Structure 1
């Protein structure tokens, strides 16, 4: 080949470097083109066939080498529909003019055109799979089109409601020192309460004397002291006059005188007088010690008069006498306690149980008894009133919350009445031998009544006895909004089992009849929800998770069936110092009609439309395509590529993986690198021109040889 071969090789070098220069020029020109993929130039030597020892360096050929797998920088963009691919793959597009064909691109500057399609800056429409209610419904990729029509209203069907109720609600009626003040009191709601509220009241009429006989009290004495300590001289007398008949008793050491010498005690001395008096009258008069004092009383039922005389009377303190009292004048204050009851009440017991708290009383009509452990001794030596006042005071102080307002009274009309006004929660039982004697043995269960609705007249009271459970706006079929306010009222709390009632504001309009309506009762066992009971036929309960209101009506407007869903373990009742309900979830699934305002791209690669009602809708799932050999794709205008045999078929990905919204991918051209290649290419081109010049001169010299 010789000089001509050298000349041809130099020319091929010029062509190859020109090709490289063209690629460098194109790369630099597109350094700001979105998603542009640069093209590098590769060189291949071309060796003619020749013996080994005669082989030459040969000419050169160039070819383009795509850099499709080299990602450009991801840049933020203000346009929400712009997107980039953070990884391999291509957006799947079609021509905006509808001419057909599938094109792949990394250019993600998509925006909405006048027809609602997402079109990039090169005029290619984005394709994806259609979606409905968040679920992919399409199977064939279609051009993504944004529908800017109104989003229709959706009726609310479910309220997701989860919260913790405080163990002790601090309502407006709550008083820390008053047990039960935190509870709802249904019996106070006149006209609204259902059932029959019962505050236990147990009474009984026991036999009473036909007459309270005359009696008199003397000095306070020690029954076990010697009679001689009374300093009654021998020969002194005590006269007891009964209805004009006088009995005289002379004191001295010798019978038949009343003995006073040691070892005679005061008690035995008075017993001696009692025996003589009963023998004389044939009755059952009493002479002895009562309430620590010398005491004389005529036979029960006697209306006779009683007077004392003699020199011994003042020494015994016997002077004033209570005359006989007829039934018409009986009062608890003048009725001697020991005259009451069948067989009397002395040394008998009275047991009063209120809501699990039992008080035991031992009645002592002589002042001589000793009570055992856990038993309260009650002095019954005085009047019924005095005895009952002691029992009443003890019940109020130690009988528990249900007995805090207890009253214990007796009168001739009602007999003994043990009443628990205001106690509608604690059951009462009365037992014991004294209860039998006084005819008050029995039990009565308390009943609070219940509330299914709260009238407007009682609304203020209800708000004071309940705590807020939050409020939420629900929507009708036409998108009409209404605020549903909820309140919780604790209705019982016994032995770790607490019951709450959930109410909602059913009518707040002026002149409304029912202001609040109960949804259901919730029972908590040690703070954990154990049961839900619906309020009547309008509420259906599903386990411990949800309830359905057949027809939710607020302010006269019906919103149809709505389910209140608490989820698993969504309702609890644990101690909270605030005393208020703590809502952890409160949302519903309805909304009003909304106008389209914008569209954006989610992290999952979904096209999301936003509306003025705050709702968003996934319009389409963007798909991407990858290839076994992406550098073998055929380039087209606008950064678009088509598949070739060498690239392989497109592998479609529907996951949206790697899609970044509000971003674009910059060109992967590196200006500094391109300028470096430019210098090298320029020098190589220049060197090849020198070869051409040198070869030309050599040819000239060869031609000059024949001159």
Structure 2
């Protein structure tokens, strides 16, 4: 071969480098083409058959090598329908004219054409699987077409509602120093309250209560166990005048020589006073008289039914301190202030128990001033007037009887009845017991009752808002898409020993003068902060502690049909919250009004998402992708489109949308600097091949010149 072989090898080199130059040129030209995959050039040496000792370098051949598996940079795009593939695979497309055929591309600059199809910049339509209600319904890939018609309205059927209620709601009526001020007071809602609100009032008709008060007088403080001779002298005299009866003298015998004495005073003072009582009782007008020691003092009193006056004198003057006595009180003039307590409670040491709700107060009535109260018992001084004694009991109840007794009154009324009243206490039952209660007819139980509220009229709406806290609001929709705002409020109605009850109301009619401004949905019972039961209001059915159904939600006269309020398994709680407000963790509903199509975008799951003016979105198609066993063996077509070949293998379809990135495009994988480097090398190689041709030509010329 020789020179001719060298010449042919140089020509093959020129052809190969020209091929490489063509690919470099195409790569550089498409460096800004979306999704473009560059083509590299590979060279193969062509060796003719020859003995080993005579082998030659041979010629060269070139072929194109696709770089389809090399991903270009992913760039953000302003168009929501643009997309890129972060990984292997291709979008599955068809021709834009609908002429058929399946083409694969990495070019993702898809936009909506006039017919509603997603078409990329090269004119290929994107294909995918149809979807309905978020579920893939298609089984065969079809061109994705966007329907820009209105989205019909959907009626609200469920409200998902979860929140935490504070242990102590800070309503507008709440006062931190007033127990129970945070609770709803149904009895205050005139015209709305149901049932019979009861504030316990116990009235004891005291059988045998005195209608008159006899005259009585107090003397000196004495020790009943001391000898009478320590304060009395023999023949000392006390002169007693009872009413219009003649005066009579009580003469004390202290040494046992009676003489003219009529009262034995040889023993202790208590015995002497008993002898003195017997002498007075034996005198005219003295029947039923009492002489003894009361509150440590000498005490003289005429019989309980007596209305006679009492005059006391003594010789020497001041003997026993009995210098004066009270004026008797006639019928109709008896009051608790002028009635000695022991005229009503005639037996010393009687007990009284008053229980208000869960708080019990125990009292020991001491009418002699000689008793000592045990643990947990309050001793009440009964040596004075009945009013003084009742005032002590009243003060203790108010201070220590709990919230239900904070306004308690204990009094003796004009009809001679003992009255224990608990105004404003509609929550705590009252029980009065004990021997003292039996004496005055107070031994009974009165059950308190708050009444209930099913609706609140407009007249009481302001009061209701003050005694409740906001539970949030949400817009629901009718069948025609009419919106209505559902406002909710929570009112705490009871709280006893860790068991709390709340009522949920919704604003049902905002018209002035409405009889149903607020309507109760249900009552919720919490045990130690955990929801333990729900009782539905009128027209409301309950399913466990998870949901309730309102048969017909009516607001401002418009019916919105059946609505389910779903709280979930543990969506309702009642734990302490310093804010005193309800904390909503979920409040949403499933309805919406009609919406106009505004845009379409691509989700991270590779779904085509249509957006509407009502805020709703709908997945209309699931984009599919295709991968190949040998993607570099795909046949290239115009516009970055590829078709499958025998060498590439059949397409493997992926319906998961994995790797699809919305609002993005994939740049060309051409590296300009690398292409320029290859350009220089190719140019030099081409030039070197031309030198071979020139040299071979010169050698041939020399060979021809040899025969001239």
TM-score class, shorter: over 0.9
Q: Cα–Cα, structure 1 residues 210 and 606, in superposed 2: closer, same or farther, change >3 Å?
A: closer
> Equivalent residue of 1:493, what SS?
strand
Give per-residue Cα distances to partners, 1:224-276, cap 9 Å, x unaligned: 35545656674434234355154321134332626697x74443332221122
| Native 8 Å contact 2:239 2:247 kept in 1 | no
Written as runs of structure 1 = structure 2, the 5 A alignment for 1:514-663 is 514-536=516-538, 538-663=539-664
Give per-residue Cα distances to partners, 1:337-372, cap 9 Å, x unaligned: 22226xx34211111111111111111111111111
Q: Distance in 2 between matches of 1:430 and 1:622?
A: 80
CA drift at 1:81: 1.2
Mapped pair 1:267 → 2:284: no
Written as runs of structure 1 = structure 2, the 5 A alignment for 1:448-487 is 448-487=450-489
Q: Which moved more, 1:583-592 or 1:271-280?
A: 271-280
| Native 8 Å contact 2:289 2:302 kept in 1 | yes
Cross-structure match for 1:278: 281
Give per-residue Cα distances to partners, 1:130-153, cap 9 Å, x unaligned: 122222221111111111112211
TM-score by length of 1: 0.95
Stretches of structure 2 lacking an aligned partner (at least 5 in a row): none
Question: Among 419, 422, 425, which residue is 2:421 paired with?
Answer: 419
| Native 8 Å contact 2:129 2:621 kept in 1 | yes
Question: Among 333, 337, 343, which residue is 1:339 paired with?
Answer: 343
> Equivalent residue of 1:457, what SS?
helix
> Equivalent residue of 1:244, what SS?
coil
Q: Which moved more, 1:203-212 or 1:541-550?
A: 203-212
| Native 8 Å contact 1:228 1:260 kept in 2 | no
CA drift at 1:626: 0.8
> Equivalent residue of 1:583, what SS?
strand
Mapped pair 1:512 → 2:514: yes
CA drift at 1:321: 4.0
> Equivalent residue of 2:431, what SS?
strand
> Equivalent residue of 2:683, what SS?
helix
Q: Cα–Cα, structure 1 residues 239 and 683, in superposed 2: closer, same or farther, change >3 Å?
A: closer
Q: Distance in 1 between matches of 2:132 and 2:317?
A: 111
Q: Distance in 1 between matches of 2:243 and 2:688?
A: 162
Q: Cα–Cα, structure 1 residues 360 and 258, in superposed 2: closer, same or farther, change >3 Å?
A: farther
Q: Distance in 2 between matches of 1:678 and 1:296?
A: 138
| Native 8 Å contact 1:232 1:312 kept in 2 | no
CA drift at 1:209: 4.8
Mapped pair 1:2 → 2:2: yes
CA drift at 1:292: 3.9
| Native 8 Å contact 2:366 2:380 kept in 1 | yes
CA drift at 1:539: 1.2
Cross-structure match for 2:203: 203
Q: Distance in 1 between matches of 2:514 and 2:304?
A: 66
Q: Cα–Cα, structure 1 residues 561 and 345, in superposed 2: closer, same or farther, change >3 Å?
A: farther
Mapped pair 1:363 → 2:376: no
RMSD: 2.2
CA drift at 1:613: 1.6
Mapped pair 1:174 → 2:177: no
Stretches of structure 1 lacking an aligned partner (at least 5 in a row): none
Q: Distance in 2 between matches of 1:437 and 1:460?
A: 47
Q: Distance in 1 between matches of 2:403 and 2:222?
A: 41
TM-score by length of 2: 0.95
Give per-residue Cα distances to partners, 1:352-407, cap 9 Å, x unaligned: 11111111111111111111111111122233222212111111111111111111
> Equivalent residue of 1:97, what SS?
coil
Aligned residues between the structures: 703
> Equivalent residue of 2:300, what SS?
strand
CA drift at 1:90: 0.7
> Equivalent residue of 1:194, what SS?
coil
Q: Distance in 1 between matches of 2:513 and 2:202?
A: 42
Q: Cα–Cα, structure 1 residues 4 and 310, in superposed 2: closer, same or farther, change >3 Å?
A: closer
> Equivalent residue of 2:190, what SS?
coil
Q: Which moved more, 1:583-592 or 1:299-308?
A: 299-308
| Native 8 Å contact 1:345 1:437 kept in 2 | no
Q: Cα–Cα, structure 1 residues 495 and 63, in superposed 2: closer, same or farther, change >3 Å?
A: same
| Native 8 Å contact 1:83 1:663 kept in 2 | yes
Q: Distance in 1 between matches of 2:228 and 2:241?
A: 19
Cross-structure match for 1:307: 311
Q: Distance in 2 between matches of 1:220 and 1:100?
A: 128
| Native 8 Å contact 2:222 2:298 kept in 1 | no
| Native 8 Å contact 1:213 1:298 kept in 2 | no
CA drift at 1:453: 0.7
Give per-residue Cα distances to partners, 1:72-112, cap 9 Å, x unaligned: 11111111111111111111111111111111111111111
> Equivalent residue of 2:94, what SS?
strand
Written as runs of structure 1 = structure 2, the 5 A alignment for 1:486-501 is 486-501=488-503
CA drift at 1:434: 1.2
> Equivalent residue of 1:587, what SS?
strand
> Equivalent residue of 2:517, what SS?
strand
Written as runs of structure 1 = structure 2, the 5 A alignment for 1:236-275 is 236-241=237-242, 243-253=244-254, 254-255=257-258, 257=261, 264-275=267-278
Q: Distance in 2 between matches of 1:257 and 1:634?
A: 150
Q: Cα–Cα, structure 1 residues 476 and 312, in superposed 2: closer, same or farther, change >3 Å?
A: farther
